[in-house]
Homo-oligomer: A and B are copies of this chain.
Amino acid sequence: MKKNKAKAVTIHDLAEELKVSASTVSRALNEQEGIGKKTRKAVKKLAKEWGYRPNRMASSLRTNTSRTIGILVPWINRPFISSLISGIENAARGSGYQVIIAQSHDSSDQEKENIQTLYDTRISALIISLAMETTDYSHFELIQENDIPVVFVDRIPNLGNCIKVQINNFKAAFDATAHLIAQGCTRIAHFGGSSNQIIYQDRRLGYLSALKNAGLDIDERLNLQAQHLSAEEGTRLSEQIFSLENPPDGIFCANDTSAISAIKYAQEKNIRIPEDLAIIGFNDDPICTVISPQLSSITHPASSMGMEAVNQVISLLNGKSQAHDSAVSLSLETNLVIRASSDRRR
């Protein structure tokens, strides 16, 4: 007899109907040893018939884990991050995990607080991209002490013994800069991000290395940095380099937002792109193909990074490796996408 719709079916209901104990039902459903074939079959059949759905709360309480992956990112509403989350959500749900989201708003304090709350939720694992501010990682101890797997994505910490999913920022930046050089640029500026974050350090190093490699002079007045690489900061940096007596003929920007600002600034000043100034960004946000001239950029495999992060999480949770002593560093492929903003060949 079908149970009352309003009241959820429990293992006890199934047990009662089948004249077995709740523990038997539990073991049967969880594919555990020591259950007769017939019993197992009967339990599964009835569970399906009655639409049994396990109570996650009860299970979580008992096992002290929730089959929930916590995601902690600086901002949800950014193209790269929302795609990252989308990738995580797909992969996680495909493996039977829920996904809980929190934003740090690039503040270490909020990051800390959110980690506490996520911990309270007994998340099975944490996937995190660091707040811009964060340089101290002590707030992760709570998570790690409790053997909750942590996977760092994109904005990773300066630590060895942890799991990271990232791109090769150095190489991507090197390639981007080398591309500008190949287009004939000789004075190339860099709009970089906060040196708190390794990704921006690496992009800067890649930039510098490409310059050195080509035998170009390094002018520190062109090697710039902004806290958030916002549109406003992009404009400010543009003003700054074009007030120099000897302005650059190329810019490698560590994100697309600031690159767009540079394009707009140049257009206002009637600086021709790419003839007088070649520009390349980073991330390959949708805006790249909307701005005119279209913006060259580096593709950032956001969704794949999310999926890979989940893969790491799952293999940790399946006990293939110990959470606290493993150090994986995964590097995903980027691609240089050449568009009109830097293409002088035509």
> Which of A's residues lie within 8 Å of B, judged by CB?
5-6, 53-58, 60-61, 64, 66, 68, 75-79, 81-83, 85-86, 89-90, 93, 98-103, 114, 116-117, 119-122, 145-146, 260, 286-287, 290-292, 303
Q: List 5 A-B contacts (CB under 8 A).
A: A57-B60, A76-B86, A77-B83, A287-B287, A290-B291
Residue of B nearest to A5 (CB): B145
Are A85's CB and B77's CB within 8 A? yes
Q: CB within 8 A of A146: which of B6, B93, B287?
A: B6
**Contact A260 to B290, CB < 8 A, known contacts A101-B101, A116-B53:** yes
**Contact A61 to B53, CB < 8 A, known contacts A101-B101, A290-B260:** no
Are A102's CB and B78's CB within 8 A? no
Are B56's CB and A58's CB within 8 A? no
Are A6's CB and B122's CB within 8 A? no
**Contact A56 to B6, CB < 8 A, known contacts A77-B79, A290-B291:** no
Q: A89-B102, A93-B114 are in contact. List 9 more A-B contacts (CB 8 A).
A: A6-B145, A6-B146, A53-B120, A55-B120, A76-B76, A76-B85, A99-B101, A260-B290, A287-B290
Q: CB within 8 A of A291: which of B55, B57, B86, B291?
A: B291
A271 to chain B: closest CB distance in Å? 15
Are B66's CB and A76's CB within 8 A? no
Are A103's CB and B90's CB within 8 A? yes
Bound-state Cα–Cα, A76 to B90, Å: 11
Bound-state Cα–Cα, A126 to B21, Å: 35
Bound-state Cα–Cα, A60 to B119, Å: 15
Are A86's CB and B90's CB within 8 A? no
Interface centre among A121, A122, A146, by most B CB within 10 Å? Answer: A121
Are A101's CB and B77's CB within 8 A? no
Are A57's CB and B53's CB within 8 A? no
Are A75's CB and B66's CB within 8 A? no
Bound-state Cα–Cα, A56 to B303, Å: 31
User: For residue A90, which residues in chain B have a CB less than 8 angstroms away from its CB?
Assistant: 103
A95 to chain B: closest CB distance in Å? 12
User: For residue A85, which residues in chain B have a CB less than 8 angstroms away from its CB?
Assistant: 76-77, 101
Bound-state Cα–Cα, A75 to B100, Å: 16
Bound-state Cα–Cα, A122 to B54, Å: 11
Are B66's CB and A77's CB within 8 A? no
User: For residue A145, which residues in chain B have a CB less than 8 angstroms away from its CB?
Assistant: 5-6
Residue of B nearest to A85 (CB): B76
User: For residue A66, which residues in chain B have a CB less than 8 angstroms away from its CB?
Assistant: 57
Residue of B nearest to A80 (CB): B77
Q: CB within 8 A of A86: which of B75, B86, B260, B303?
A: B75
User: For residue A121, which residues in chain B have a CB less than 8 angstroms away from its CB?
Assistant: 56, 98
User: For residue A53, which residues in chain B have a CB less than 8 angstroms away from its CB?
Assistant: 116, 119-120
Bound-state Cα–Cα, A116 to B99, Å: 15
